[in-house]
Amino acid sequence: MVKTPFLSKESADEVEEVKFHYAFFLPAEDSSFFSRLREGAKDAASSRDCSISFHSIDSDPLSFEMAKYSGFDGIGLYLYEKDRSKLQYLSEILGEGIPVVQIENEVIQGPGSFFIGTNNFDIGKGIGQLALDTSIDRLNMVLVYSKKNPGVMSDRNLVEMGLKSVLGDRLSALSTEVTSLNPLDTGMLAYDLLKKKPSIDIIVLTDPNDTLMTVQAIIDMNLVGMVRIIGFGEHETIKSYIEKGVLLGSIVRNPYRIGFSTVMALKELSINGYTSAYADTGITILSGTSQ
């Protein structure tokens, strides 16, 4: 028994030293998505006798800059966007032979880099299935991407292909918008859309915060039932809005499975030098009938 800074169990003074240590670099945002992702990663680490640590990619950039010197056996990384300096650090990490699993948003490709996340074609299909629940024959739809969910925005073509594969000719018009990292941005966009495009039948959101802000705008403008909303995420307020019929439904990713699979892939890379991990971690569709 030896003391070690890399613990496989929290709140222990002395534990057996584990062989592999993996670092997760995640956004500072304290959302249910990242909480569940961390839970999945911790459970996988416990079951596979490895240790993990979590670092903020936003508020603690120095940790990521110095990651190549830290002795990590692998890294799980969630990046919002292709920041030049972070891409440089990522290239240097890979250059040192440290494997990296990119979570949800694949910003770079190459040897030693792997992807685990959600299949965006399935997200599009899920949106289409929810839209079919309306009685509208010809749908005028606005799809709002968000920089807060870069994994969906970066593969927007797949999202739209999946959507069109389900709706076919029922989709009369599809326009797209993008919200920034600013949480107030969505409310302004929602008000503008509803004023300038009164013919909109459905607004689709791809971020939980955007969903809540848009629903509030619909309520404020007394347009509940006139404009349908398809949301994103499983926040309790979102579930409540679905139960009340304010939301058609919501697309939900599987963050627990994403976190769990990331650790499993990193451990497999450490042992075998390759991983059989597959990108698709699945989605769930919440609707009034699924509550």
Q: pLDDT tens across 116-166, in order? A: 988 899 999 999 999 998 888 899 999 999 988 888 888 899 999 999 999
Rounded to an integer, the average pLDDT of 53-79 is: 88
Overall pTM surpassing 0.85 (yes/no): no
Higher pLDDT pick, 288 / 99? 99
Residues 33 and 232: their CA atoms lie apart, in Å, by 11
Provide the pLDDT for residue 6: 37
Rounded to an integer, the average pLDDT of 38-64 is: 88
- What distances in angstroms separate CA 33 from CA 92, 128, 271, one per listed residue? 28, 23, 29
Residue 26 sits at φ, ψ, to 5 deg, of -125, 160
Residues 259 and 44: their CA atoms lie apart, in Å, by 8
Question: At residue 290, does pLDDT exceed 80?
Answer: no
All domains of the chain in start order, with CATH: 21-117+254-281 (3.40.50.2300), 120-253 (3.40.50.2300)
